[in-house]
């Protein structure tokens, strides 16, 4: 399924940084490769709900643009188009955030 993810630009056009948690021990990840989440029970700041971790993505481009409103500074942010597998809703999120097991970054959309 095609999904969208908000990331940060890096000095390499084919690499991006995750916003909060890394993937496989690093926040800097390449495009054009399958990236796999470490799935484990986690608790976040949205009320202490325990859930199975995953890579955060959004269902469509408009949801990603809307989610950007949560950031006071969108400098260096991009929306990347991804193929995602193992998708599930992050039920306790107040936004339409999805979690997935794997992503393959296809391209970045400049803001």
Predicted local distance difference test score (pLDDT) of residue 85: 98
Predicted local distance difference test score (pLDDT) of residue 46: 60
Predicted local distance difference test score (pLDDT) of residue 87: 96
Note down pLDDT in tens along the chain; length 111 residues: 999 999 999 999 899 999 988 898 899 999 999 999 999 888 876 667 788 889 999 999 999 999 999 999 999 999 999 999 999 988 766 668 899 999 999 999 877
Q: Which residue is listed with tokens 């955060």?
A: 56
pTM of the model: 0.89
Predicted local distance difference test score (pLDDT) of residue 35: 97
Q: With helix as H, strand as E and coil as C, how does the chain read?
A: CEEEEEEEECCCCCEEECCCCCECCECEEECCCEEECCCCEEECCCCCCEEECCEEEECCHHHHHHHHHHCCCCCCEEEEEEEEECCEECCCCCCCEEEECEEEEEEEECC
Predicted local distance difference test score (pLDDT) of residue 96: 82
Predicted local distance difference test score (pLDDT) of residue 103: 97
């Amino acid at each position: 399924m095609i999904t969208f993810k908000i990331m940060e630009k890096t000095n390499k056009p084919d690499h991006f940084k995750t916003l909060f948690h890394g993937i496989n021990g690093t926040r800097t990840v390449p495009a054009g490769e399958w990236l796999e989440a470490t799935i484990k029970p986690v608790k976040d700041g949205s009320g202490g709900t325990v859930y199975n971790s995953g890579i955060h993505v959004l269902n469509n481009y408009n949801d990603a643009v809307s989610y950007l409103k949560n950031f006071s500074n969108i400098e260096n942010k991009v929306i990347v188009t991804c193929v995602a597998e193992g998708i599930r809703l992050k039920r306790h999120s107040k936004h339409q955030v999805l979690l997935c097991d794997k992503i393959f970054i296809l391209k970045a959309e400049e803001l």
